[in-house]
Amino acid sequence: MAQINFKGKTFVQNHHLAVKFHQLVPDKNKSQTDKLSLHDNLIVHGDNLKALKALMPTYAGKVKCIYIDPPYNTGNEGWVYSDSVNSPLIQEWMKEAKPVDKEDLTRHDKWLCMMMPRMRLLKELLSEDGVIFVSIDDNEQHRLRMLMDEIFGEDNFVTNIIWQKKYSPQNDAKYFSDMHDFIVVYAKHKNVGDEKNGWIRNLISRNETQNARYKNPDNDPRGPWKPADVSVKTYSKDYDYAITTPSGRIVRPPQGRCWSTSISNFEKWRNDNRIWFGKDGGNVPSVKIFLSEVQDGVVPTTIWLRDEVGDNEYAKKEIKGLFGDVQLAFETPKPTTLIKKILQLASGKNDLILDSFAGSGTTAHAVLDLNKEDGGNRKFILVEMEDYAHTITAERVRRVIKSGTPGTFSYFELGEPVELENILSGKSLPSYTDLARYVFYTATGEEFDESKINEGINYIGESKEYEVFLFYKPDLEYLKATALTLDRAEKLQGKSGKKKLVFAPTKYIDQDNLDRFNIVFAQLPFEIYKLAK
């Protein structure tokens, strides 16, 4: 498979592994819920690379549909490359700390360096039957495709949708008036054959216009139908025969074509009243397609017109309807109708949706609207790094909820990194829950459920292999004085018969007794990575 090469690639292709886990700090005042929870709808404010890593312990492999609208890298957007990668080249880029513009000869390299680690984490967050949709334009579409071929595998490319983003042509365009964007679609795993082992797209519900095409001029008891051509282009001499209509007219297929079925099968259709010769019985035959017998929806196409899914102007009107005449810095927002179509195609009623370039919050708005329409219980996770995460992104969702659309969300700030080495020095000690989330996920690779924590008995959850215990408090004196002892080992309350994985600052118990109590000991902080390997 061909791979894309760019400046800095060798330094960022595994950078997502070096990104530290950060604490997620809830903010009650900015939330719209009575009960803060990482399992609520989420809005996370902070750098989206760090935020995606922070979400891994709870949501790795759990997200059904990702939609992102990253910078298109037009040279006019003012985004800054700021990932702290240990490389002289990239450190020099960071030192510049200036927006990436058209004069920057490395702007495509910087964009790819920004996207690659984020795309790797997004893939890890996707469920095995998940799918990602990425909005983009001609500035980076071809590079995005090559990057995603490399990360997701070219066999998992699904399609490249053309979305009509505006109605009025620009008469002052130098060459062509730009009327569309792309939406690139990749599955984590495409469904193979009849197996249910990958992403399967849904059908799109029929609208009234599509249903109106089905009539019932002959009062057929099977209900409304529409006529379909009985002839086909692929010629077969056996299917080239004469048909006598009820009026006595003799008809044959058009020149170079033949009928789509054999003469014996055609007679079966005629006897079952599935052939229509027109009201006078003398027309070229067509076959009836009954509404009651077709699929439950429509197969989606790769061209999405503004009349169907909205455009940028429609999106601006949606935002204005919520915020009034307040001037918001979104030149090309996406309409909720566009995102709802993606969700209808990509997810079920109880699935999780992620948008890590949240902007004005359209994805959350679309999730809540769709839940209201079809009784679904989809949940969203938004990540926004700009300062407007509270005043625009979250505020839009608040206003949607307050206007009568059911929903809640918990607002989190990206906190300090969980640096286990600091446990020894007492610097920046994480909370019990944050450290539990980190050690559980890092050691087991499985989802952490904070509702399982019982701090009184040091229990933090159960994986496929272990019951996991953590002796810890964000208190240096406690850490200095705490060890796994014989007495503590005897009192560990295991229930499943699995091995007990115990994290503690140290131990005063020999290996024979650890074996006797079926304990695997991991000393904080250094042995977590050993277990992960």
230-243 residue pLDDT tens: 999 989 999 999 99
> Are residues 141 and 109 part of one domain?
yes
CA distance 244 to 282: 9
Please report whether residue 2 resides in a domain. Answer: no
Q: Is the dihedral of CA 261, 264, 268, 269 positive or negative?
A: positive
Instruction: Give me the pLDDT at residue 82, please.
Output: 85
Q: Let me know if 259 is exposed, middle or buried by CB neighbors in 10 A (0-12, 13-18, 19+).
A: buried
In a domain? residue 137: yes
Calculate mean pLDDT across residues 489-517.
90
What is the Cα–Cα distance from 25 to 89, expressed in whole angstroms?
33
For residues 36 and 162, membership in a common domain is answered with yes
Alpha-carbon gap, residue 471 to 468, rounded angstroms: 10
The CATH number covering residue 189 comes to: 3.40.50.150
Listed ranges 211-215, 291-295, 360-364, 425-429; the one with the highest mean pLDDT: 360-364
Please choose, from the candidates 69, 48, 57, the residue with its C-alpha nearest in 3D space to the C-alpha of residue 118: 48
Evaluate whether residue 3 is within a structural domain. Answer: no
pLDDT at residue 531 in the model: 41
**pLDDT for res 485:** 94
270 and 325 in a common domain: no
- Residue ranges of the alpha helices (H) in 153-262? 208-211
| 455: in domain | yes
Residue 225 pLDDT level (bands cut at 50, 70, 90): very high
- Strands 459-462 and 466-470: what pairing? antiparallel
pLDDT at 357 over 80: yes
- Does a structural domain hold residue 267? yes
Alpha carbon 407 to chain centroid distance? 19
Sign of the alpha-carbon dihedral angle for 210, 211, 215, 216: positive
Domain boundary among 293, 314, 334: 293
Query: Structural domain of residue 521, as residue ranges?
Result: 421-532
Is the same domain home to 36 and 122? yes
Q: Does some domain include residue 4?
A: no
pLDDT (average), residues 395-405: 96
Q: Do residue 309 and residue 362 come from a single domain?
A: yes
Residues 108 and 174 in one domain: yes
Which of residues 392, 417, 442 is at a domain's end?
417
Strand ranges for 348-395 from DSSP E:
352-355, 379-384
Domain count, the chain: 3
**Could you report the per-residue pLDDT of 5-47, keeping only the tens digit for each?**
999 999 999 999 889 889 899 999 999 999 888 889 999 999 9
Flag whether pLDDT at 73 surpasses 70.
Answer: yes
CA distance 430 to 25: 11
Least confident range of 48-57, 73-82, 220-229: 73-82
State whether 432 and 521 are in the same domain: yes
Rounded Cα distance between 450 and 504, Å, is 19
Question: Does 365 lie in the same domain as 220?
Answer: no
What pLDDT, on the 0 to 100 scale, is given for residue 418? 82
Examine the pLDDT at 329 and tell me if it is beyond 80.
no
Residues 417, 421, 424, CA angle at the centre, nearest 5°? 125
Torsional class of 46: left (φ above 0), alpha (ψ -120 to 50), beta (otherwise): left
pLDDT reported for residue 424: 58
**Residues 56 and 191 occupy one common structural domain:** yes
Residue 136 and residue 107 in contact, taking contact as beta carbons nearer than 8 Å: no
From the CB of residue 67, how many other CB atoms can be counted at a distance below 10 Å? 26
Q: Are 190 and 158 in contact (CB under 8 A)?
A: yes
Helix H or strand E encompassing 43: strand 42-45
Average pLDDT, the chain: 90
Does residue 267 share a domain with residue 126?
no
**Long-range Cβ contacts of 460-466 (<8 Å, 24+ apart):** 460/436, 461/436, 462/496, 462/498, 463/501, 465/498, 465/499, 465/501, 466/498, 466/499, 466/500, 466/501, 466/520
Write down which residue in 417, 432, 457 finishes a domain: 417
Percent of the chain having pLDDT more than 90?
A: 67
Domain membership flag for residue 163: yes
Which of 191-195, 314-318, 372-376 has the lowest average pLDDT? 191-195
For residues 186 and 47, membership in a common domain is answered with yes
Co-location of 160 and 245 in the same domain: no
Averaged pLDDT, 358-374:
96
Q: Quick one: what percent of the chain has pLDDT higher than 70?
A: 96
> For position 90, what pLDDT does the model report?
82
- Model confidence at 251: pLDDT above 70: yes
Residue 132: Cβ within 10 Å count: 27
Instruction: Report the Cα–Cα distance between both ends of the chain, in Å, rounded.
Output: 29
195 contacts: CB under 8 Å, gap ≥ 6: none
Flag whether 1 is in a domain.
Answer: no
